[in-house]
Every structure is written in structure tokens, then in C-alpha cells.
Structure 1
């Protein structure tokens, strides 16, 4: 009976590691012609935006910013950028494990 309990515990431990959190990142390149002041990245299907990942920094036109996303179990994220004129650019359900973002005026909300 004891061996069976150990095996059940071992299987449960292995199964939980398959759902473990992972680290992701996304490179975001600004090609809007404007400076981006805010960058919000939230898990896909989230009902609210997380904190601004740029903080006191800005993303100048032509620059690329790498955003590290740690502790998530899914690579799908919603990304919203806000420029110096308060214009926003929103990308929904981005698979950051396969896709980076190049934001242009074509993406203006």
C-alpha cells in the first residue's frame, strides 16, 4: 500500500510540473513615428491591464524593447501601447513564444 501511495504522489508531482509557470519574452519595435510612453502587457483573456512595463522609460521611434514575462503558464498576451499623443495600439491574444511586435500607424486603435 505504501508503494502505491508513493507512486500516486510521484505521478501527481510530475503532472504538476507540466503545468508549471514558464518564462516568456516579447520584443516590441516602435515604427510609429512617435514616442511610446506606456506599454501594458496582460495575460490573454485578462479583464484588466497590468502595470506599465516601461515605468519611467520611453520607447523612441525606431527602438526595440524586450519585455520579460515570468511566471505565466500560457504564452498568449494582450499588449497595449500608448504614444505621446495618447493614441493607443492594441494587440490581442499574441503568442509571444512565436511572435514579436512591430507597431506601426497601421495598428492605431
Structure 2
């Protein structure tokens, strides 16, 4: 089942989607880290927003994607709801029993 989120900014429709490949790309290319989300919420939110647009809007520059984050925030005040949606998409790929299985020294 494909799950995505569509929003409208200035009359244009944008689709956010993260599948397994896009999640890996988000981590490796965009530098998204859920571990860093709490301490670096601003930069991680922008990175995740940009990664979420990659599958359907790779033709849009990173700078423009960041501008869309700001525009959506100005228009609706809901940019973080999209970020939350994307976080939920990432965590849906990992079973709760699989997290934190590596012991720290």
C-alpha cells in the first residue's frame, strides 16, 4: 500500500512520500537522523521535509523546498504536522522490538 500526504501551497499540489529507498536516501544524502531530531529540531525538520518531497518533486531545488516549508508555515502554520507524518512513516518501517537492540558501552 502506497501512503503519501498531499498538500497545497500557493495553489500548487505537493506530495510527500517515504518508502524504504527514500528513507535510506533521507539518512544518507539528506542527513536525516531521528536521534538528532530532539536536539537539532530546526535543521532536522527542514532536512526531513526536503527528503519527503524528493520522490515526487526531485526537480525542485533544495532551497526551493525549504522555501515551501516556510510558505506552508506562513499560510497554514502546519509544517511540523508534515514533519510528524514523515517521522511516523520512518518509524512504521521499524518494529518496536527491533529498536535499541545494540548495547552501549
Band the TM-score falls in, shorter-chain normalisation: under 0.3
What TM-score do the two structures reach when normalised by structure 1? 0.24
Q: Which has the higher contact order (CA 8 A, sep 6+)?
A: 1
Rg (Cα) greater in structure: 1
More helix by share: 2
TM-score, with structure 2 as normaliser: 0.24
